[in-house]
Structure 1
């Protein structure tokens, strides 16, 4: 018997997907909670990873969703982010768990994602990529006590390069899409480790508009990075 990390109920590990199909230590999540996460599969936007099954056909143009078409039509942002791949959709259960993890500071919840995050990384990327977690501003780090993106990156069990820093910025939720796109870049290169001609993966918890990831990618490309992609836990 094991204790579920998310709902705290006891369950028989032999019935867990992680136990049956993973050679590594199983994630401490019961089958009920595991079933509430909504994995991303089927046809997806080749840039942001949004599943086409979740949007109307009018919001699709070829292999891209309408949001990514707009990013690509903007001279500043065209091809800045090569692709994003997410593990789960940001459904109601995902929002509940992210709130528990990110805003209520339950650091240990991250262990529930180890196997699925590693699997997504192996599916779309390889060890030649440099892994860079999205940083928090010093103010946000003080509020939360830890950087959720860094913790997720550590689950991959690979070298991590904390080469970015971030200025504090007021919340963007009340701004229009255009206003957010024109916002000044909040990221800087903190460590002058060379990224020239390197392929980089940014790690973060949620892909929503994609602006944060593109801001970070923009800075890295200016430093000579070959390409910048992203690995995120949830796709909003």
Structure 2
């Protein structure tokens, strides 16, 4: 019997033929923890992003998940939302994770968006480099509006006139995603879509 990655309690599962034949995927979290996550399924767009989809609301359970995954470096938690991400990251598009600043990556020891995509078996490519090491949540609206571009195109990279899909963990103000979309569009992309695991606020 496996343990829940969040509460460490045994996961009680109902016996099925698929399970007996080894065809059913083992669950990473228990039913109780799973119920604590609140679906949002928010879709929208703005003047830069041609579409933006956020899957879950930023409630207490999701806050605890992000803290354990990102800040306590529990990389195993990357698998928890693999199925949901895989079902939304489909189609003939190039998947581009929002990168971490190199200093932040050294501090955290791993790139959490890369881990989420790898756990979901989704191919991706790094096209962007982050130029600012600050957190958007720590900046005022005036500071965000006055910011220099957050991203540059990776050296030696060619951006083709096609659709690119940005992936990030959380949408708060949209500043990060818009900066990434602007960089790609200025380099030649024709359409920029985005998917985030979480939406903080509406």
Report the TM-score range of the alignment, normalised by the length of the smaller protein.
0.7 to 0.9
CA distance, structure 1, for counterparts of residue 91 and residue 43 of structure 2: 24
The Cα of 1:81 is off from its aligned counterpart by 1.1
Pairing 1:33-182 to 2, within 5 Å after superposition: 33-41=33-41, 44-47=42-45, 79-121=47-89, 126-182=90-146
Distance 2:177 2:153 in 1: 14
Q: What's the counterpart of residue 13 of structure 2? A: 13
TM-score by length of 1: 0.75
Equivalences for residues 198-209 of structure 1 within 5 A: 198-209=162-173
* Kept after mapping to 1: 8 A contact 2:166/2:177: yes
Measure how far apart 1:103 and its partner are: 1.1
The C-alpha deviation readout for 1:107-128, integer Å capped at 9, x for no partner, is 111111111222233xxxx331
Once residues 90 and 225 of structure 1 are traced to their aligned partners in structure 2, the CA distance between those partners, rounded to angstroms, is 30
CA distance in 1, matches of 2:3, 2:138: 40
Matched, 1:220 2:180: no
Query: Number of matched residues?
Result: 194
Residue 26 of structure 1: how far off its partner (Å): 4.0
Q: Give structure 2 stretches of 5+ with no counterpart.
A: none
SS in 2 for 1:13: coil
Contact map agreement 1:180 1:211 (CA 8 A) in 2: yes
**Superposition TM-score, scaled by structure 2 size:** 0.87
Greater RCO between the two (CA within 8 Å, min separation 6)?
A: 2
User: Which moves more between the two structures, 112-121 or 27-36?
Assistant: 112-121
Deviation at 1:217, TM superposition (A): 0.7
CA positional deviation for 1:185: 0.9
